[in-house]
Structure 1
C-alpha cells in the first residue's frame, strides 16, 4: 500500500498553538477535539494509521544551511510563506481515492482544509 501525507495548513499570521486554542469557545473546541479523536480511532481501527503529529509554528524553527561551506544554524524557517503545515497524518491507503476519502473525513473533523500527497516510493536498487 502507498503511504499518504495528510497535512493541516495554518495561516502564518495567526500561528495557532495549543495555548491559543484555549481562547476558542470551550464547546466548539471540545467538539473539534472529539471529532478528531473519533477520526483517529477510525484510522487506527481500519489499519490505515501510521503516525500523526502537530507542529510548533514556523517562528520556532531552526534551519541548518551548509551552502556557505560549514553548516550554519539559522533561527528561521527554511521558507517564508503565508501558510504553513501545522499538523499531519501519515496513513496507508490502497490508492489516492481512498486517501482523499480519509482526508475528507479529517477535513470535516477539523472544519478546515487538508492537503493529500503520496510519499515517494523507494527506487529499485
Structure 2
C-alpha cells in the first residue's frame, strides 16, 4: 500500500529570480513532474503566491480574528509543494532529493500525509 507524502519547497523571501535564471529551473521542474507522472507517483503540484497575499484566520471563543500576511515572520516561506504517492519514506526521500537537485539551493521538506 502506498502512502502520500508532501514535498514542501522552502524559498527565501524576496524578488523572483530573473527569467534567465528561473526559466531553466522551471523547465527542469516540468521534466521532473512529467517523470513523476509517468511513474505514477505524482498526485499534484502547486506554486503559491508570496506570503504577503496570505490571510491568517484564528478563532478565539466566538470571535474570529483575520490578520493580513503570513502566520509567522521569517526569512523563508513555503513557495509551493508537490504531493506524491510512495511505497515508503525511502522512496519519498529519493523524489525529495531529485526535487532538491532541480531547485538547488532551495530546501525540500518531506512529510507523510495523515488521513483521518
TM-score range, shorter chain: 0.7 to 0.9
Note closer, same or farther for the CA distance 1:93–1:86 as it changes in structure 2 (3 Å cut).
same
What is the TM-score of this pair, normalised by structure 2?
0.88
Aligned to 1:6: 7
SS at structure 2 position matched to 1:97: helix
Deviations 1:53-110 (CA, angstroms, capped at 9, x unpaired): 0111211110111115321221122222232111100000000000010011111111
Aligned to 2:71: 78
Higher relative strand content: 2
SS at structure 1 position matched to 2:115: coil
Paired positions, count = 114
- Which runs of 5 or more residues in structure 2 are unaligned? none
Aligned to 2:41: 48
Asked if 1:104 is matched to 2:97, the reply is yes
SS at structure 2 position matched to 1:59: helix
Asked if 1:66 is matched to 2:59, the reply is yes
Q: Which ranges of 4 or more aligned residues in structure 1 deviate by more than 3 Å? A: none
Aligned to 1:94: 87
- Output the aligned Cα RMSD: 1.6
- Which runs of 5 or more residues in structure 1 are unaligned? none
What is the TM-score of this pair, normalised by structure 1?
0.82
